[in-house]
Homo-oligomer: A and B are copies of this chain.
Amino acid sequence: MAKHNDRSDPVAEQRPLAELLRLPAGPVDLSTIATDSTVGFPGRGKDDVGTVGAALVPELEDLQERLFANGRATPETAPRVLLVLQGMDTSGKGGVIKHAIGMVDPQGVDITSFKSPTKTELAHPFLWRIERALPAPGMVGIFDRSHYEDVLIVRVHDLVPEAVWSARYAEINAWEEALVAGGTTVVKCFLHVSHDKQKERLLERLDDPTKYWKYNPGDVEERQHWPAYTEAYEAALEQCSTQHAPWFVVPADRKWYRNWAVAQLLVEHLRGLDLAWPAADFDVSTEQARVAAS
């Protein structure tokens, strides 16, 4: 079956990837969105990803340094970027951080991996721990899982009553809207992996003693809940893909494409900030003379 992000359109590559991967408005049926697409990739395939990826680095470095510089020079007004990574087990949140975020100066990046909430965190509203992890001015924050877990695992496993989780979609939308209004660009990526590919990746972990540590017998139990997770993801994507903070669905069956795509989305969003280098708040020639005399 042809899926709407198949590479059937030869002009697709001319358009920003953010347009191509942005979740269309309306009901979400993940089975209609290909997991193995390479839409928008400006090359023939995997063999080109080294070159294509390397070509991104200078621009990504330049843009991220501008962001960071603004954070230092004018923290009151400098923007922030928040990249949210969600996806089923094995969809590759870790791989994206290693390969895409690994392109960026680590000083400008602030990664938070959200685990099961602690007792202290559970004693607060669900957005409390999220709020505390937000990036500082000039920083690129990365959320490896996020507040969306509070409408995903929480919904699938009935960790709170339905009345509670069902109210959270609106809460999340309002909270993200305020975040964006405050100067944070929010880039939400759903890494979309297929049920078969998940099995393949779990088996790979069991085939390789250097990967045993990534495997947990509980992963199989979670895998039994695939339909419930799919339903929960569809609800979250549908209800929380807003004008101010849309969801991007990143096909994640091909690791090389997934990693490139997230880096490309980051570049496009940084470009959109249109950041100038901060002006000097001192007299340059005076300072040159002072340094020269020192």
CB distance from A253 to the nearest CB of B (A): 17
| Set B107, B224, B294: member contacting A294, Cβ < 8 A | B224
A224 and B293 CA atoms in complex are apart in Å by 11
B residues within 8 A CB of A279?
A: 212
Closest to A99 in B: B105
Report whether B294 and A203 are in contact in the complex, using a CB–CB cutoff of 8 Å.
no
Number of copies: 2
B-contact 0/1 string along A57-78, CB 8 Å cutoff? 0000000010001101100000
Contacts of A203 in B (CB 8 A): 288, 291-292
Pick from B70, B105, B215, B282: contact of A98, CB under 8 Å: B105
Majority SS of interface residues in chain A? helix
Asked whether, in the complex, the Cβ of A280 is within 8 Å of the Cβ of B223, the reply is no
Among residues of B, the one whose C-beta sits closest to the C-beta of A98 is B105
The A127-174 residues at the B interface (CB cut-off 8 A) are: 142, 144
Min CB distance A259 to B, Å, is: 13
Taking a contact as CB atoms under 8 Å apart, the answer to whether B107 and A97 are in contact is yes
Contacts of A287 in B (CB 8 A): 206, 215, 217, 220
Which of the residues B98, B106, B213 comes within 8 Å of A101, measured between beta carbons?
A: B106
Q: 11 A-B pairs, CB-CB below 8 angstroms?
A: A69-B210, A73-B213, A94-B107, A104-B106, A106-B109, A106-B142, A107-B144, A199-B292, A212-B278, A213-B278, A217-B287
Binding site for B on A (CB under 8 A): 65, 69-70, 72-73, 94, 97-98, 101-102, 104-107, 109, 111, 113, 142, 144, 199, 202-203, 206, 209-210, 212-215, 217, 220, 223-224, 277-280, 282, 284, 287-288, 290-292, 294
